[in-house]
Amino acid sequence: MAHIYTVQYAKTTDGSRRESEFPMAMKIPRMTAGDGAENIVSFEVEQQILPALSGAHVPRYVASGDLSRTPYLVMEYVPGQTLEHWSQAFEETPFKVGEHDMALARMGSALAHAVHSLHKQNVCHLDLKPANVLICPNGHVVLLDYGLSCHAHFPDLLAEELRKAVGSPAWIAPEQVVGVRGDPRSDIFAIGVMLYHLATGELPFGEPSTAGGMRQRLWMDPVPPRKLKPDLPEWLQEVILRCLHPEAAKRYPSAAHLAMDLANPDQIRITERGRQTQGTGFKVHFKRWFKAAGMHYQPSPLPSRQIQEVPILMVALPHEDVSDATWYSLREAVARSLGIRPGARLACVTVISSGDTSSTDSHKSETRVHRTHLTRMQQWAQGLDLQDHQVSFHVLESGDVAQALVRYAQGNEVSMIIMGAATHGLQLQRFVATVPIKVAMDAPCTVILVKQDLPFELLGTAASADDARGAQPLAT
Partner 1 sequence: MKLALLSDIHGNLQALQACTAHAQTQGVDRFALLGDLVGYGGNPEAVVEQAMHMAEQGAWVLQGNHDAMAVQPNPLDDSVGASSAVWTHQQLSASQREFLKQLPLTVLQGHMLLVHASAYAPERWHYVDSERAAEMCMDHALQTFDASHVMVGHVHHQTVYYRGAGRKLMRFEPTAGAPLPMPHHRRWVATVGSVGQPRDHNPRAMYTVYDDQAQRMTFHRVLYDHAAAAAAIRQAGLPEFFAQRLERGR
Q: Tell me the closest approach of the beta carbon of residue 169 to partner 1, in angstroms.
A: 18
The region that residue 383 occupies, defined by phi over 0 for left and psi between -120 and 50 for alpha, beta otherwise, is: alpha
Instruction: Quote the DSSP letter at residue 423.
Output: G
Q: Which stretch binds partner 1 (CB under 8 A): 56-64, 150-158, 210-218, 458-466?
A: 150-158
Cα-based distances in Å from 186 to 176, 221, 254, 363, 422: 7, 16, 10, 48, 43
Question: Which is closer to partner 1, CB of 38 or CB of 202?
Answer: 38
Interface with partner 1 includes 281 (CB under 8 A)?
no
Which positions from 24 through 83 interact with partner 1, judged by CB under 8 A?
A: 38, 41, 44, 48, 67-68
For residues 134 and 77, what is the distance between their CA atoms, to the nearest angstrom?
A: 11
How many other CB atoms sit within 10 Å of the CB of residue 187? 31
For residues 239 and 212, what is the distance between their CA atoms, to the nearest angstrom?
A: 27
Burial, 354: exposed, middle or buried (Cβ in 10 Å; 0-12, 13-18, 19+)? exposed
Q: Which stretch binds partner 1 (CB under 8 A): 82-90, 160-168, 360-368, 393-401?
A: 160-168
Among 14, 19, 21, 161, binds partner 1 (CB under 8 A): 161
Q: Tell me the closest approach of the beta carbon of residue 183 to partner 1, in angstroms.
A: 17
Interface with partner 1 includes 158 (CB under 8 A)?
yes
Interface with partner 1 includes 178 (CB under 8 A)?
no
> Binders of partner 1: how many residues, by CB under 8 A?
19
First to last CA, the chain: 69
Question: Which is closer to partner 1, CB of 181 or CB of 251?
Answer: 181
Number of residues in the chain: 476
Interface with partner 1 includes 156 (CB under 8 A)?
yes
Which are the contacts of 103, defined by CB distance < 8 A and separation ≥ 6?
Answer: 90, 93, 95
Q: Tell me the closest approach of the beta carbon of residue 37 to partner 1, in angstroms.
A: 9
Q: Tell me the closest approach of the beta carbon of residue 153 to partner 1, in angstroms.
A: 4
Locate all alpha helices (DSSP H) within 164-294, ordered by sequence. 174-177, 184-200, 211-215, 225-228, 234-243, 255-263, 272-275, 282-293
Interface with partner 1 includes 168 (CB under 8 A)?
no
Q: Which stretch binds partner 1 (CB under 8 A): 16-24, 131-139, 154-162, 281-289?
A: 154-162
Collapsed DSSP state (helix, strand, coil) of residue 66: coil
Q: Tell me the closest approach of the beta carbon of residue 78 to partner 1, in angstroms.
A: 24
Among 84, 160, 320, 466, binds partner 1 (CB under 8 A): 160
Question: Which is closer to partner 1, CB of 179 or CB of 444?
Answer: 179
Interface with partner 1 includes 179 (CB under 8 A)?
no
Cα-based distances in Å from 284 to 213, 223, 304, 354, 395: 19, 14, 33, 52, 41
Q: Which stretch binds partner 1 (CB under 8 A): 53-61, 126-134, 156-164, 428-436?
A: 156-164
Q: Tell me the closest approach of the beta carbon of residue 168 to partner 1, in angstroms.
A: 16
Q: Tell me the closest approach of the beta carbon of residue 164 to partner 1, in angstroms.
A: 7
Question: Which is closer to partner 1, CB of 35 or CB of 320?
Answer: 35
Q: Tell me the closest approach of the beta carbon of residue 127 to partner 1, in angstroms.
A: 15
Give the count of alpha carbons within 13 A of 68, CB side only.
Answer: 0
Among 62, 152, 248, 313, binds partner 1 (CB under 8 A): 152
Q: Tell me the closest approach of the beta carbon of residue 298 to partner 1, in angstroms.
A: 15
| Beta partners for residue 390, in sequence order | 345
Locate all alpha helices (DSSP H) within 267-365, ordered by sequence. 272-275, 282-293, 303-308, 324-340
Q: Tell me the closest approach of the beta carbon of residue 50 to partner 1, in angstroms.
A: 12
Which are the contacts of 15, defined by CB distance < 8 A and separation ≥ 6?
Answer: none
For residues 390 and 312, what is the distance between their CA atoms, to the nearest angstrom?
A: 10
Question: Which is closer to partner 1, CB of 19 or CB of 161?
Answer: 161
Q: Which residues bind partner 1 (CB under 8 A)?
A: 38, 41, 44, 48, 67-68, 152-162, 164, 302
